């Protein structure tokens, strides 16, 4: 009976663990409960992946992100509010505090309604900028769905995003087109390395305010690919904030819509459902989460003798040293070996104030759910307190920051080459031993020499 | 049969007519000109070109640092001039795909104009070697097909003595590798020179011996001394030799705490036996032998 219960408990734990790497408590903030119906597939998918969505209205009294000073939820999904903001329990300060405690936030906006200024100021803290009127909408006269937006052109058809840069992993790629109805655009501040665009508007797209339209646009803040539709901010503590410009793209209707682009475009099914899965998986830390396993450093040796000490506290200058680090990546429900993207490198720095060595770590082995990266190098000829540092911060991947201090000493007095091995020292060695030999000869000569007649005669002449 | 033929012909006609029908409800432009004025130059100076309707200019347009680029056109839907919602001049870097659009000033009759100087361009465009692609985007709501076509190539020229502005943005990524540069190993002088000086140093011993022999040094008292007090003399000389031997071992492998007791023993022996031996030497002097 007992083992049956524990087996049940184990199975339950396994189910609970088979999802996000950072928990399954998901708060869905939805103002209008009747709207929940139109997102049933999306919310159902989240539940099927193991989340525990709690749908709350922002007006609810018992809604709070924290309980006794700790996070009450692991992730928050915010649907665009109808009223002026999300209310006091979801103020920008509280949301930032929630992220400071490692909580993840996915905020969806809509171009149909004006975004409240409270949200705009929250986004401003993260260096994401909405247009000043906060009610702009993206249109594109070249990539729209002719079935549903033949007149207004506000259902954008977009290609799935590929790699952000040649050296990043793509978590959002795939086949098919995405339909983004009435998307609210935003722009990214250019000085923040924590920001990364996930999906940008097409080159020909632009944004305008439908309420203040005078026949043609003459003043645009940004246009084309400068308009971001989906962006991500990953804080230094790896908490993730994701901004989705079009909440309507998550509706059931767009999960399985048939769309057609103008011109001779073919009819195609939208890939919104797949994209929504990828986006929520990334936002709620099911993908792109790195974990460091064993970190080892030791003296290099020719044979594989087990005698060498692991992770010694002290090295000597010019020692050959081997460093290895084990990294795994969380992928939906398990850890898999982490592969560094092409054109990128996991780098080891050997630093004292500034790096003396910065070396690319090479893959050297693989276990079932981690890969091992290692490198071999010579400790610099400078003694002091050094550290092995692996500082791997990349877009879409949680950061790795490892620092392991070691002492580097100089040669001990008996580790230098002996003086006879230094040919320049031979003169001094010869001098020393000739003095020794001369002293012994002098002692013998002084003890046993008999005075000679010549000596006495010279004395006399003097 | 005849009927089938007529239907086929009619449908073929419809197919061939379809593009022209579509063209009738497509956006385009006419009366397009592009001109570049240098600041302070008179009216009529500078470049002024007409862009053929719905086509591209073959000649590249160059924009200097004080010049103003002006593009005017009349947007039209099909054959009639009309105000379009989007009339943009799109500049795109052919290499990176970086794009920026400049909206035209559009009047109700479709007449549109845009003016542009180098100050309006993003910094990234100022340091390009290849000319930019300038495209015209004309489109509006409704079913008319929007126009997206190349207009001209825009070369951004800068005077060589002006520094090219650069942007430094921090992005997380791979950093250049660093390999520590080690100090050079200590060098030895050429072995020939060393050996020459070693020979000179060692040559002092034969020179010393020769000088002593020339001055009459000898060991003629050795048998007398050994006969008079054999043990002190042999022990004294032996302890001196062993002292030097200890020093040699110290140099070669011994540690200080191995050396110190050995030196203490050999030194005591040398002191005691030396005082006896020197007493014998004093006896020889008192005998007048030296």
The pTM assigned to this predicted structure is 0.82
CA distance A429 to chain B (A): 9
* B42/B35 Cα distance (integer angstroms): 13
Q: What tens digit of pLDDT does each residue of A423-448 get?
A: 999 999 999 999 999 999 999 999 99
Residues of B in contact with A449 (CB under 8 A): 217-221, 290
Backbone angles phi, psi at A446, to 5 degrees: -70, -35
Nearest chain B residue to A356 by CA distance is B180
Nearest to A224 among B99, B216, B277 (CB): B99
How much is the pLDDT for A304? 63
Q: Check CB contact under 8 Å for A203 and B99.
A: yes
Q: Check CB contact under 8 Å for A450 and B88.
A: no
Q: What tens digit of pLDDT does each residue of A210-247 get?
A: 887 777 777 777 888 899 999 999 999 999 999 999 99
Q: Check CB contact under 8 Å for B141 and A152.
A: yes
The counts of H helices and E strands in chain A are 8, 27
Q: What tens digit of pLDDT does each residue of A131-186 get?
A: 888 888 999 999 899 888 888 888 999 999 988 888 999 999 988 899 999 999 99
Interface membership of A215 toward B (CB under 8 Å): yes
Nearest to A167 among B139, B174, B188 (CB): B174
Nearest chain A residue to B282 by CA distance is A447
Neighbour count for residue A343 (Cβ, 10 Å): 12
Interface membership of A159 toward B (CB under 8 Å): no
Nearest to B194 among A142, A152, A426 (CB): A426
DSSP string, chain B: -HHHHHHHHHHHHHHHHHHHHHHHTBEEEEEEEEEEEETTPPTT-SEEEEEPTTS--SS-EEE-TTEEEEEEEEEEETTEE---SEEEEEEE-TTT--EEEEE-EE-TTSEEEEEEEGGGS-GGGGG-SSPEEEEEEEE-SSSSBPEEEEEEEEEE---TTSPPP------------B-PPPPPPPPPPPHHHHHHHHHHHHHHHHHHHHHHHHTT---TTHHHHHHH-HHHHHHHHHHHHHHHHHHHHHHHT--HHHHHHHHHHHHHHHHHHHHHHHHHHHHHHHTT--
Question: Over 50: is that where the pLDDT of B1 sits?
Answer: no
Beta carbons of A28 and A43 less than 8 angstroms apart? yes
Question: Over 70: is that where the pLDDT of B180 sits?
Answer: yes
Interface confidence, given as ipTM, is 0.81
Q: CA dihedral in degrees (A336, A342, A348, A353; nearest 10)?
A: -130
Residues of B in contact with A193 (CB under 8 A): 169-172
Q: CA dihedral in degrees (B168, B169, B174, B177; nearest 10)?
A: 30
CA distance B209 to chain A (A): 9
Beta carbons of A327 and A379 less than 8 angstroms apart? no
If 0-12 CB within 10 Å is exposed, 13-18 middle and 19+ buried, where does residue B111 land? middle
Residues of A in contact with B195 (CB under 8 A): 426
| Mean pLDDT score, A8-20 | 53
CA distance A36 to chain B (A): 32
Q: Check CB contact under 8 Å for B178 and A394.
A: no
Tokens of B144: 């008319």
How much is the pLDDT for A105? 95
Question: Over 70: is that where the pLDDT of A394 sits?
Answer: yes
Residue with the bigger pLDDT between A262 and B247: it is B247
Q: Check CB contact under 8 Å for A142 and B146.
A: yes
Beta carbons of A172 and A199 less than 8 angstroms apart? yes
Nearest to A444 among B171, B191, B219 (CB): B219
Nearest chain A residue to B280 by CA distance is A447
Q: What tens digit of pLDDT does each residue of B122-146 get?
A: 888 888 888 899 999 998 888 888 8
What are the structural domains of chain A? Answer: 18-285 (3.40.50), 289-409 (2.60.40.1930)
How much is the pLDDT for B97? 85
Question: Over 80: is that where the pLDDT of A420 sits?
Answer: yes
Tokens of A414: 């008996």
| Mean pLDDT score, A358-368 | 94
Query: Which range, of A226-235, B90-99, B195-204, B266-275, averages the lowest pLDDT?
Result: B90-99
Q: Give residue B79's pLDDT band: very low, low, confident or very high (50, 70, 90).
A: confident
């Amino acid at each position: 009976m007992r083992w049956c219960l524990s087996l049940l408990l184990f199975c339950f734990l396994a189910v609970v663990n088979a999802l996000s790497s950072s928990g399954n408590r998901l708060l869905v903030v939805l103002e209008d409960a009747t709207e929940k119906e139109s997102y049933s597939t999306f919310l159902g998918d989240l539940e099927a992946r193991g989340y525990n969505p709690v749908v709350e209205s922002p007006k609810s009294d018992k809604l709070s992100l924290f309980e006794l000073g700790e996070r009450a939820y692991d992730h928050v999904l915010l649907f665009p509010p109808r009223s002026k903001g999300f209310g006091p329990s979801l103020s920008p300060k509280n949301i930032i505090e929630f992220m400071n405690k490692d909580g993840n936030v996915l905020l969806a906006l809509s171009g149909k309604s004006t975004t409240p200024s409270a949200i705009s100021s929250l986004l401003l803290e993260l260096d994401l900028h909405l247009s000043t009127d906060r009610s702009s909408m993206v249109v594109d006269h070249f990539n729209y769905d002719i079935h549903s937006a033949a007149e207004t052109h506000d259902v954008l058809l977009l290609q799935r995003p590929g790699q952000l840069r040649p050296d990043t992993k793509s978590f959002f790629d795939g086949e098919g087109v995405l339909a983004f109805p009435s998307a609210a655009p935003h722009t990214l501040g250019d000085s923040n390395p924590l920001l990364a665009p996930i999906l940008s508007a097409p080159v020909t797209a632009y944004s305008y305010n439908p309420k203040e339209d005078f026949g043609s646009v003459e003043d645009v803040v940004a246009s084309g690919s400068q308009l971001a539709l989906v962006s991500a901010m990953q804080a230094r503590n790896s908490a993730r904030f994701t901004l989705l410009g079009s909440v309507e793209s998550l509706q059931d209707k767009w999960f399985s819509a048939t769309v057609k682009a103008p011109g001779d475009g073919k009819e195609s099914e939208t890939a919104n459902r797949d994209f929504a899965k990828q986006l929520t998986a990334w936002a709620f830390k099911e993908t792109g989460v790195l974990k460091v396993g064993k970190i080892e450093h030791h003296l290099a040796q020719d044979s594989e003798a087990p005698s060498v000490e692991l992770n010694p506290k002290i090295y000597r200058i010019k020692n050959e040293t081997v460093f290895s680090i084990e990294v795994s990546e969380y992928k939906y429900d398990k850890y898999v070996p982490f592969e560094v993207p092409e054109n990128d490198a996991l780098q080891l720095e050997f630093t004292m104030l500034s790096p003396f060595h910065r070396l690319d770590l090479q893959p050297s082995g693989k276990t079932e759910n981690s890969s091992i990266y290692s490198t071999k190098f010579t400790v610099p000829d400078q003694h002091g307190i050094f550290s092995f540092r692996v500082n791997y911060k990349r877009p879409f991947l949680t950061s790795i920051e490892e620092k392991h201090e070691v002492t580097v000493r100089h040669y001990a007095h008996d580790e230098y080459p002996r003086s006879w091995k230094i040919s320049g020292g031979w003169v001094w060695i010869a001098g020393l031993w000739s003095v020794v030999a001369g002293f012994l000869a002098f002692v013998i000569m002084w003890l046993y020499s008999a005075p000679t007649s010549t000596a006495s005669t010279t004395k006399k002449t003097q | 049969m005849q009927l089938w033929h007529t239907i086929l012909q009619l449908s073929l006609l419809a197919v061939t007519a379809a593009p022209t029908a579509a063209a009738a409800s497509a956006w385009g432009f006419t009366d397009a000109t592009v001109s570049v004025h240098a600041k302070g130059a008179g009216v009529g100076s500078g470049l002024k070109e007409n862009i053929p309707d719905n086509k591209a200019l073959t000649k590249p347009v160059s924009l200097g640092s004080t010049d103003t680029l002006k593009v005017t056109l009349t947007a039209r839907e099909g054959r009639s001039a009309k105000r379009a919602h989007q009339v943009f001049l799109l500049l795109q870097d052919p290499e990176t795909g970086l794009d920026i659009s400049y909206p035209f000033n559009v009047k109700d009759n479709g007449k549109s104009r845009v003016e542009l100087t180098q100050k309006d361009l993003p910094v990234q465009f100022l340091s390009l070697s290849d000319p930019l692609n300038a495209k015209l985007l004309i489109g509006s709501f409704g079913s008319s097909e929007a126009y997206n076509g190349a207009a001209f190539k825009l070369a951004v020229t800068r005077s060589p003595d002006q520094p090219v502005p650069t942007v430094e943005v921090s992005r997380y990524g791979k950093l250049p590798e660093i390999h520590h540069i080690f100090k050079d190993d200590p060098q030895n002088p050429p072995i020939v020179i060393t050996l020459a000086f070693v020979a000179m140093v060692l040559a002092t011993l034969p020179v010393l011996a020769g000088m002593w022999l020339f001055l009459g040094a000898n060991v003629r008292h050795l048998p007398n001394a050994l006969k008079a007090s054999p043990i002190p003399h042999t022990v004294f000389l032996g302890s001196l030799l062993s002292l030097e031997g200890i020093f040699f071992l110290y140099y070669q492998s011994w540690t200080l705490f191995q050396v110190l007791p050995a030196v203490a023993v050999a030194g005591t022996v040398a002191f005691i036996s030396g005082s006896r031996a020197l007493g014998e030497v004093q006896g020889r002097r008192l005998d007048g032998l030296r």
